[in-house]
A and B are shown apart, each in its own frame.
Chain A
């Protein structure tokens, strides 16, 4: 078994006096697609903010490729090859589609992803490249957000609630594009409310409940009962 690309040990996170994460243990293996599910307020977004460096954590709680990244700023984490497609897309409104994509390349990492590759993946973005990013439809904005993250040529890509607020048909399209995105040994974490979708694309799954891991298992092995118990805390 190769060393995990990302490893969390006893990860805790606080917003002032409020504790959001209580000692999370989790790992992502190289090339693996991991799903994280959980109800609203279970700590999924806090976990993403911790991993990407938007929240500071205690020393040695998060290791990436064997190195401690828990105290790094988000831009330093990004330079090491960790990118995120944030919840709600969060494109830069005053930048055009193309400029949003180019911001993603700012970290200067070499790899297969450049403007051409993103346009081949989502041809509609090539047509709309000079438009303001927020003038696009929700699904197209999500494509920009995914393309923006890919432009940094990450080794580990985090998808935070990519189906939120999108029409079912659009969600289907986005997920259909995923195998073309997660390739070349890239690892991914998919945070998703849509459990069926999350289980379908992932190899392993963690369920969070009130800031703790309530279930861990292979995505094709966990049962419906196990999930509802882990999700809602019903015994």
Chain B
């Protein structure tokens, strides 16, 4: 029962990693951009949530209504104003620029909010639990997992069922020809980043309810996100969901053996999968 419990808790923890990873997966899929600042943008989302909850007095989940569109706008502006200029045949400029952005974000947050750990107050939600078949499940982790599945489903639906998704795929396939068909890739990339950061806002707020955070923790979130994306296979959204769950389960199983092994066992699982399947478990195939 203990082991089953660890697997179930790990799956729910994986939901959070899926939310970390979904935005990364999306922007890599559309524009081959590896965003080193993604973890810090998650933390930015958490701080925006904190500011909204403390100044307006909203519940953190209600703050999503403000933070999600705000992060979307930031994403569009960031892409049009900065990141579009770095895209081309060379992979290095976007890496360097987003690395710089990561440093700027961390230090900017440090100036604004200090290095003190912060946490969002979600009231009874933080400790609420339900018992299912002898297992006690936290309502917040369940909610997080629900968000993760909904986000992946929503992104998948957007990609394969809407005009916007068709434009994303066309631009991803062939930028020049997409441009010939009247699609302005700079605008499309801006929309993709807006969507990615809107998801990041959800990740940031759920992170901020679950644990305390400070401006320096972005790097760790980035690694978990990357690992989930790569385990699942680049550019495959359902794969990202599987990748996040595998990472979460590996961590809780490791912690079950020895509490000090939690993070390490996640990384080990990632390395083993990478060694056996260098392209991830479900490399990109068209749906």
Q: Which residues of A are in contact with B by a Cβ distance under 8 Å?
A: 52-54, 73-76, 78-79, 83-84, 86, 90, 92-95, 99, 102-104, 106-108, 132, 148, 152
Contacts and interface: CB of A to CB of B under 8 A. Distances in A.
Given A102-B166, A103-B167, A73 B184 contact: yes
Question: Closest 5 A-B residue pairs measured CB to CB?
Answer: A107-B182, A78-B182, A74-B179, A92-B173, A75-B184
Contact of B166 (A53, A54, A103, A108): A103
Interface in B184-234: 184
Contacts, number: 67
Interface string B29-67: 000000000000000000000000000000000000000
Interface in B135-178: 163, 166-167, 169-170, 172-174, 176-178
Nearest to B188: A75
A54 B176 contact: yes
A94 B177 contact: no
A129 to B, nearest CB: 14
Contacts of A148: 181
B243 to A, nearest CB: 21
B261 to A, nearest CB: 40
A90 B177 CA distance: 7
Given A74-B179, A132-B286, A92 B169 contact: yes
B180 interface: yes
Contact of A152 (B174, B178, B182, B286): B182
B269 interface: no
A106 B286 contact: no
B95 interface: no
A78 B181 contact: yes
Contacts of A95: 166, 169-170, 173
B183 interface: yes
Nearest to B159: A94
A75 B169 contact: no
Interface residues of B, number: 18
B286 A93 contact: yes
Contact of B179 (A75, A93, A102, A108): A75
Given A92-B169, A94-B286, A95-B169, A103 B174 contact: no
B179 A73 contact: yes
B126 to A, nearest CB: 42
Contacts of A54: 176, 179-180
B65 to A, nearest CB: 31
B177 A75 contact: no
B181 A107 contact: yes
Contacts of A99: 166, 169
A90 B176 CA distance: 10
Most buried by A among B176, B182, B183, B286: B182
Contact of A79 (B166, B177, B182): B182
Contacts of B177: 86, 90, 92
Contacts of B179: 53-54, 73-75, 78
B170 A75 contact: no
B80 to A, nearest CB: 14
B286 A103 contact: no
Nearest to B179: A74
A78 B166 contact: no
